[in-house]
Amino acid sequence: MIKKGDRAPLIQLTDSDLQAIQIPAKDSTTLLLFFPLAFTSVCTTEMCGVRDNLKWYNGVNARVFGISVDSPFTLKEFKTAQDLNFPLLSDFNRSAAAAYGAIYEDFFGMKGVAKRSAFVIDGNGVVQYAEVLEDAGQLPNFEEIANAIRNL
C-alpha cells in the first residue's frame, strides 16, 4: 500500500470522454479519490460533496480526480447524472487501484473493486496524505485531506 512519503506511481487512465490522462498531475497538487462503483449511494454522496467544494480545490491549485473500476461509458453517465465538474477516470483494468494498494480481493462477490481511498500528491510526485478505507460505507476524512493540501 502507498503511504505518506512514497513516490506516487505514474499511471495513465482513460477519462469519461475517452481521453488519456496521466496521474498524478505534474507541477500541481493532485487529489486522487478512488471509489468502489458509480451510482451507489455513498459514492454519489462523496463525489457530489467534491463537486460542491471544487471551487476550494481550484483555489489552492489542487487537481481532483475520481477513479473507479467502472468503464468510461458508465463514468460518463454518472458524471452527467450528478453534474460532476471534475474528471472521472476509469481504472477498468485495475492497474491504478492495485498500484496504490486500494483494491478489494472480494467486494460482495466482485473481484478487484477499488477501495474507497484518498491520496494527496504534491507537485513533485510525493504522497503527502494516504487513506485507504476497508469499510466502503465510510467517507475519507475530508478535513484531514484539506489540511494536507493547505500544508503544501
Query: What would the pLDDT profile of 107-132 be if each residue is shown by its tens digit?
Result: 888 899 999 999 999 999 999 999 99
Query: What would the pLDDT profile of 8-54 be if each residue is shown by its tens digit?
Result: 999 999 999 999 999 998 889 999 999 999 999 999 999 999 999 99
The answer on pLDDT for 1 being more than 90 is no
> What's 98's DSSP letter?
H
CATH, range 24-150 = 3.40.30.10
Q: Which three cell numbers stand for residue 9?
A: 506511481
43 flagged as catalytic: yes
Catalytic residue among 8, 38, 43, 84: 43
Compute the C-alpha angle 106/112/114, nearest 5°.
100
Segment holding 48, helix H or strand E:
helix 41-52
Please report, for the chain, the start and end positions of each structural domain, with discontinuous segments joined by +.
24-150
Return d(Cα 68, Cα 94) in angstroms, integer: 9
